[in-house]
Amino acid sequence: MPVPLLDLRAQHATIRDEVVAAMTEVVESQSFILGPLVEKLEREVAALSHTAYAVGCASGTDALLLALRVLDCGKGDEVITTPFTFFATAGTIHNVGATPVFVDIDADTFNILPEAAAAARTSRSKACVPVDLFGQMAPIERVMTALPGLPIIEDAAQTIGARRSIDGEWRMAGEIATIGTFSFFPSKNLGGYGDGGMMVTQDEGLATRLKRLRMHGGAKQYFHDEVGFNSRLDSLQAAVLSAKLPHLAGWSAKRRTNAAYYSDAFADLDGVRVPVIDPANESIFNQYTLRVERRDDLQSFLEERGIGSAVYYPLPLHLQPCFAYLGYTKGSCPESERAAGEVLSLPIYPELTKAQLDEVVDSVRAFYGR
Ligand SMILES: Cc1ncc(COP(=O)(O)O)c(C=O)c1O
């Protein structure tokens, strides 16, 4: 039985009527850029994230770019982040003219090590971008304590609606950082029917300037206080996302159930390490990522059986050819490099059937001879 890594058609089938009705309304209104539907989604995402403000933009990449710009990160500045992440995290740092400074990850969670971030701080450090990888939050409060006074951009592209218990209270992804950034790329837990992104913050001044920056830097049309970007969220995406948002918590809970099913089933396998979730975290499992021996052979074996899997990420960013100018070498971030050689993400989407889950379990077990 084929089990794709992700089956967006299966999800669409469950919400077709709501989504198509919402899209039809936009088409009939012929109002496509920003507008009341984007404002509605901004209010909804701010409420979900426990933030005072949310500002929509064209993608998760742009959300990072705008966040870096609003914090005035540019030439001569350093921005601390991890190399075990999607390219956009560091690509945007480069694209604002700043220098990415890569620090290693925790071997269990794949998230930034606060002490490594502290050790990398210099007089040129302008911000830190911890990434909430695969659906669980980085230890944001520990990063903030380790880097007193340094603005924090939480790359929560994979983690909308995830939460972390801090001093006995649930804090949402994006809530306590200076700015949190989300992606609505279709494969995310809250995915649009195209590109989209959003920034959340508690700071009114930052929110106001972010709104300007996404519209060429002008508060008033044709008058520009600074040079910004064209990075707007469109109403069609906002309509789809608002229709999907009420389902998000249920979908993420189903992903957690699927993750628990796999982790139980793989617990006795030598050569397989199931995902480790920090006890303070509730993950939304955007990915279910194993660390395994003979990873590439396992992936080929699964592929032969029609089971989708993916390696996120095969080459850490500090070793990417485009960042050779930064001077990192093999061994600079050993945990990131080890992870890149061992990780394999399995199908975890909420619509997986029990039979599909069992197919994945049986196949992984068969590969390891159990
Ligand atoms: C960690 C991380 N940061 C940033 C992004 C960029 O988001 P987008 O694809 O919406 O530009 C992604 C998306 O894949 C991501 O996973």
Return the HEC string of the chain.
CCECCCCHHHHHHHHHHHHHHHHHHHHHHCCCECCHHHHHHHHHHHHHHCCCEEEEECCHHHHHHHHHHHCCCCCCCEEEECCCCCCHHHHHHHHCCCEEEECCECCCCCCECHHHHHHHCCCCEEEEECECHHHCCCCHHHHHHHCCCCCEEEECCCCCCCEEEECCEEEECCCCCCEEEEECCCCCCCCCCCCCEEEEECCHHHHHHHHHHCECCCCECCECCCCCCECCCEHHHHHHHHHHHHHHHHHHHHHHHHHHHHHHHHCCCCCEECCCCCCCEECCCCCEEEEECCHHHHHHHHHHCCECCECCCCCCHHHCHHHHHHCCCCCCCHHHHHHHHHEEEECCCCCCCHHHHHHHHHHHHHHCCC
Axis crossing angle, helix 295-304 with helix 354-367, rounded to the nearest 10: 130
How much is the pLDDT for 157? 98
Inform me whether the pLDDT recorded for 107 exceeds 90. Answer: yes
For ligand 1, what atom is nearest to the CA of residue 132?
1
Inform me whether the pLDDT recorded for 370 exceeds 90. Answer: no
61 φ, ψ to 5°? Answer: -65, -45
Q: How far is the CA of 17 from the centre of ligand 1 (A)?
A: 28
Report, as an integer, the average pLDDT of 154-173.
98
Contact 76, 217 (CB under 8 A): no
d(CA 64, CA 308): 29
Q: How far is the CA of 311 from the centre of ligand 1 (A)?
A: 15
pLDDT range class, residue 344, cuts 50, 70, 90: very high
Question: What does pTM read for this prediction?
Answer: 0.98
How much is the pLDDT for 280? 98
d(CA 204, CA 194): 29
Q: How far is the CA of 85 from the centre of ligand 1 (A)?
A: 9
How much is the pLDDT for 83? 98
Report, as an integer, the average pLDDT of 21-26.
98
Q: Best of 158, 312, 336 to mutate for ligand 1, by most ligand atoms within 8 A of CB?
A: 158
Report, as an integer, the average pLDDT of 314-318.
98
Report, as an integer, the average pLDDT of 91-110.
98
For ligand 1, what atom is nearest to the CA of residue 185?
10
Whether the ω angle into residue 313 lies within 30 degrees of 0, i.e. cis, is yes
- Pocket lining for ligand 1, CB < 6 angstroms: 59-61, 85-86, 88-89, 131, 155, 157-158, 183, 185, 195, 197
Q: How far is the CA of 185 from the centre of ligand 1 (A)?
A: 7
Report, as an integer, the average pLDDT of 45-58.
98
How much is the pLDDT for 248? 98
Inform me whether the pLDDT recorded for 356 exceeds 90. Answer: yes
pLDDT range class, residue 238, cuts 50, 70, 90: very high
Q: How far is the CA of 271 from the centre of ligand 1 (A)?
A: 30
Beta 343-346 vs 288-292: how paired, if at all? Answer: antiparallel
Inform me whether the pLDDT recorded for 161 exceeds 90. Answer: yes
Each residue's pLDDT tens digit, 170-207: 999 999 999 999 999 999 999 999 999 999 999 999 99
Percentage, residues of the chain above pLDDT 90: 98
Report, as an integer, the average pLDDT of 85-105.
98
For ligand 1, what atom is nearest to the CA of residue 196?
10
How much is the pLDDT for 1? 87
pLDDT range class, residue 10, cuts 50, 70, 90: very high
Residue nearest atom 12 in ligand 1 by C-alpha distance:
157
Inform me whether the pLDDT recorded for 219 exceeds 90. Answer: no
Inform me whether the pLDDT recorded for 299 exceeds 90. Answer: yes
